[in-house]
Structure 1
Amino acid sequence: MSVTIILIIITVGISWYAWQNAGIMHKWIFHPFSVQRDNSWYRFITSGFLHADFTHLLFNMLTLYFFGDAVERTFMMLFGPTTGILLYLLVYIGGIVVADIPTYIKHRNDPAYRALGASGGVSSVVFSSILFYPTSDICLYFLLCLPGFLLGVLYIIYSYYQDKRMGDNINHSAHLVGAIYGFVLSLLLVPQALPNFFQQIASWDGLF
């Protein structure tokens, strides 16, 4: 069983359990005010295994399923099974943690603010995949399909705009930071991926 599948099973299980147990949801959700007050730094990780509802959970886990396996196999191929899995977890779990750092800084004095979800880690994995396979199609809701590098640019622009606009209850900052983290970390781990990234784009049939 792949690590991606194990992560999905754990996340579904914890999210489902937290829906039935308000105490767990309250204790594990990302609450910057409590992190600062109580030093409950574990929330940076635990909140990534919680989701607001079934739709939120389904979208994140489907995305992780479609992209995680490719990234996991790529790291295992490049670094071997053990190191590859550890680096893959660094991309995913690290994405969850790093994506919430700006949120913590911004909202640490706001007792009303809370956040949850694996979006930072999922965005990290997606953009790691885009680095390795930039011309592979990514389909939005199985309708609009674009190569990863184009969708990645649109995603960054959209997340940045929505974060500045602050017009909904979605933590777009976490999406943006997670995406950048996943791309940059993967590039640092596999520097040779950058020339390959541009070579794939240059030879993409739809470029001209």
Structure 2
Amino acid sequence: MGKLDLITIILIAANALISYKGFNDYSFFEKYKLHVGSINRGEQIRLVSSGFLHANTQHLLFNMLSLYFFADAVIASLGTVKFLIVYFVSLVLGSLLSVYFHKSEYHYSAVGASGAVSGIIYSAILLHPGMSLYMYFIPIPIPAYIFGVGYLLYSIYGMKNRLGNIGHDAHFGGAVGGYLITLILSPWLFSTNLLMVILLAIPILILFVLRKMGKM
């Protein structure tokens, strides 16, 4: 994926340090995780802070590897400031949709950078539809859009089965955030990459329909 950008290193380091603090400090984890009841009482910081906590090391590694694979492609096309806009808008929208989906569940909680990472994945694929990933355990290049769609399919599975203390709903919100913000920042994509714009809308629509049908 080329040279790792400084802002990507900073975000990965922040996620790792804050997550490991949460692994070893229960009160810290409880204070900053996404918790519907606490957010309803006005603790809005949790909408952002929960995006830097993770349920376990595996959860952290999965999100940070995904960020590593896609972040620099977005930075190269949009620049650091717009990249950060995509990252944090996706994070917050993912958190807000989690709260909305679980607004009647006072004790619902979740953590993870899933919303932000989903947004970056969708942004990168929109900007670079021909991008491929090279993973050490798979000897052939993988089209990035396959990874992106698979990431959301994992979200569907996680949302349906309530896997861990993980914000799987945030994958949906983050994907929507990254998709919309990238199209707003780069409207030329409608003429140059229209097929990918349509393709990436499909899993978002599927998630939305399943949610509305009460299947999730």
Q: What letter matches 1:89 in structure 2? A: L
1:191 and 2:187 aligned = yes
Deviation at 1:162, TM superposition (A): 5.6
The alignment's TM-score, normalised by the length of structure 1, stands at: 0.80
1:22 equivalent in structure 2:
26
1:32 equivalent in structure 2:
36
In 2, Cα distance between the equivalents of 1:139 and 1:160? 25
Q: How does 1:8-157 map to 2 (within 5 A)?
A: 8-36=12-40, 38-76=41-79, 85-138=80-133, 142-143=137-138, 145-156=141-152
What are the ranges of 5 or more consecutive residues in structure 1 without an aligned counterpart?
Answer: 77-84, 202-208
Q: How does 1:140-179 map to 2 (within 5 A)?
A: 142-143=137-138, 145-156=141-152, 159-160=155-156, 163=159, 165-166=160-161, 168-169=163-164, 170-179=166-175
8 Å Cα contact 2:126-2:196 kept in structure 1: no
In 2, Cα distance between the equivalents of 1:134 and 1:44? 30
Deviation at 1:127, TM superposition (A): 0.6
* Alpha carbons of structure 1 residues 141 and 55: separation in structure 2 relative to 1, 3 Å: farther
Cα RMSD (Å): 2.5
* Alpha carbons of structure 1 residues 57 and 156: separation in structure 2 relative to 1, 3 Å: closer
8 Å Cα contact 2:53-2:112 kept in structure 1: yes
Q: Give the length in aligned residue pairs.
A: 191
* Alpha carbons of structure 1 residues 58 and 150: separation in structure 2 relative to 1, 3 Å: closer
In 2, Cα distance between the equivalents of 1:59 and 1:141? 15
When structure 1 is superposed on structure 2, of 41-50 and 169-178 the one drifting more is: 169-178
Q: What letter matches 2:76 in structure 1? A: R
Deviation at 1:180, TM superposition (A): 2.2
Q: What letter matches 2:191 in structure 1? A: P
Q: What letter matches 1:185 in structure 2? A: I
Larger radius of gyration: 1
Percent identity between matched residues is 35
What are the ranges of 5 or more consecutive residues in structure 2 without an aligned counterpart?
Answer: 198-216
8 Å Cα contact 1:33-1:111 kept in structure 2: yes
8 Å Cα contact 2:32-2:50 kept in structure 1: yes
